[in-house]
Amino acid sequence: MSILKIDGVSKSYANHTALDHVSFDIPAGCIFGLLGPNGAGKTSLIRIITQITGADSGEIYFKGERLRPSHIKDIGYLPEERGLYKKMKVGEQLLYLAQLKGLSKADATSRIKAWVDRFEIREWLGKNIEDLSKGMQQKVQFIATVLHEPSLIILDEPFSGFDPINANLIKDEILQLRERGATIIFSTHRMESVEELCDNIALINQAKKVLDGPVKEIKDTYKTDTFQVIGNGSLMVLSPDFEVLEQHENHGVLRASIRLTNGSTPNDLLRYLIDRIEVHSFVELVPSINDIFIRKVTETHHA
C-alpha cells in the first residue's frame, strides 16, 4: 500500500520547467530516497507535497485521498534551509510549531518533554534559539519536524550541518521512526549518503523522473556479475566462463576484476580461483546508486 502516489505532476516557473510529468509511488513504512543533482526538481516536488505550492497539472494522493489541507497535520517537513525564530525560546518555539500542526497544548507539552529527555537537552528549553550552536538548532528543528508524530516525514538534505555524532543520532532516530510505522522521504543530491538507509528510491534529473523502485531491485538490474578478487599468486589463463576485465600485481598481491559469462555462478568462479591462487577477498562489485544514476543519465542523453 502506498502512502503517497504522485501522478503526472508538472510544475513550471516563469522561465523553466521544474517538474515534467513526474509519477511514482512511495510505499508506506519505508525510507524513500528522492535523489538527483542540484536543481533537478526535488525541492519543487517536496513543496507540492507539503502544499506550500500547487502543481500546474497532475495529482497527488495521500493515503489514497487527494492531497488536501487537512493532511498537513500528518506530514512533517524539515526544509533544506533550516530556520527557527531566533529570538524565541526553544520550549515556546516547539510548542508553537506543534500547535500550528494541530496538536493540543497539553499533548504538545508532554511530547516536548519526552523528546528533550531523549536528546538530553532539557536545559535548553529556556534558551533563545540564537544562543544555541548550529548543531543544537538542527536538533531542535528535527524535534519540531517529528513532534506531531506525522505518518509522512520529509527530510530535505537531513545530514548537512550535523557533525558525525549527531548525524548518527539522527540516523538512529529515523530508523526508529520507521519502526513505529512512519514513512520517511529523504531528499538529497549526495546519493552515497543515503544509499544504505533507503529501501526505495526515485531518481530525478532535469525535471524528469529517471528511475524508481526498491534499491535492491534497481541494483540487481544494473549489476554486471563482476567480482573483485584479492589474493596471492597470479592468474594466467582463464576459462571461457569468466572474463578478466583487469588485473594487476603489486608486491605479490593480486587484484583483479572478473565478470561471469556463459551463465556461470559465483561459486564456479570461486572454485576455479581456489585451485589457482590464495583468495583473501572475494566481493561482488555492485554498482552504487551514483554509478547507476550516471549511467542512466548518459543513456537518456544519448537516446
Partner 1 sequence: MHKIWLIIQREYLTRVRKKSFLIMTFLTPLLLAAFMIIPGLLISMSDENETVMVLDESGLFQGKLENKKDLTLVFVSGTLEQAKEIYKATDNTALLYIPKLTIDNPAGIKIFSKKNTSLQTKIRLENMLEKEVENQRLVASGIDREMLKGMKADISVASISLSDEGEKDNDAIVTSGAGLAGAFIIYFFIFLYGVQIMRGVIEEKTSRIVEVMISSVKPFQLMMGKIIGIAGVGLTQFLLWVILSSVVVTGVQAAFGVQATSPAQQMAQGQIAATGEEVNGEETEEEASKANSSDEIASLINAAGNLNFPLIIGCFLFYFLGGYLLYGSLFGAIGSAVDNETDTQQFMFPITIPLVISFIMSYSMVLKNPDGPVAFWMSMIPLTSPIVMMVRVPFGVPAWELLLSMALLVLGFIFTTWIAARIYRVGILMYGKKVNYKELSKWLFYRV
List residues binding partner 1 (CB under 8 A): 14, 47, 50-54, 56, 69, 72, 75, 77, 79, 81-88, 96-97, 99-101, 141, 144
Q: How far is the CB of 215 from partner 1 (least distance, A)?
A: 27
For partner 1, the closer of residues 74 and 173 by Cβ is 74
Beta bridge partners of 212: 202
Which lies closer to partner 1 via its Cβ, residue 91 or residue 231?
91
**Based on CB atoms, which residue is closest to partner 1, 60 or 144?**
144
Beta carbon of residue 100, minimum distance to partner 1 (angstroms, whole number):
4
Pairing mode, if any, of strands 226-232 and 253-260?
A: antiparallel
Beta bridge partners of 167: none
Shortest distance (Å) from residue 106 CB to partner 1? 15
40/51 Cα distance (integer angstroms): 19
- Tracing cell 498537513 back to the chain, one arrives at 72
**Between 17 and 99, CB nearer to partner 1:** 99
Q: Which is nearer to partner 1, 44 or 205 (CB)?
A: 44
Q: How far is the CB of 186 from partner 1 (least distance, A)?
A: 17
DSSP 56: S
CB of 69 to partner 1, least distance (A): 8
For residue 207, give every residue at least 6 positions away whose Cβ sits within 8 Å of its Cβ, in sequence order, or none.
Answer: 17, 18, 19, 20, 22, 40, 41
Nearer to partner 1, 97 or 191 (CB): 97
Backbone angles phi, psi at 173, to 5 degrees: -60, -40
**Which residues lie closer than 8 Å to 3 by C-beta, 6 or more apart?**
26, 27, 28, 29, 62, 63, 151, 152, 183
- Whole-number minimum distance, CB 66 to partner 1, in Å? 18
Instruction: Describe the crossing of helices 90-100 and 105-118 by its angle, rounded to 10 degrees.
Output: 130
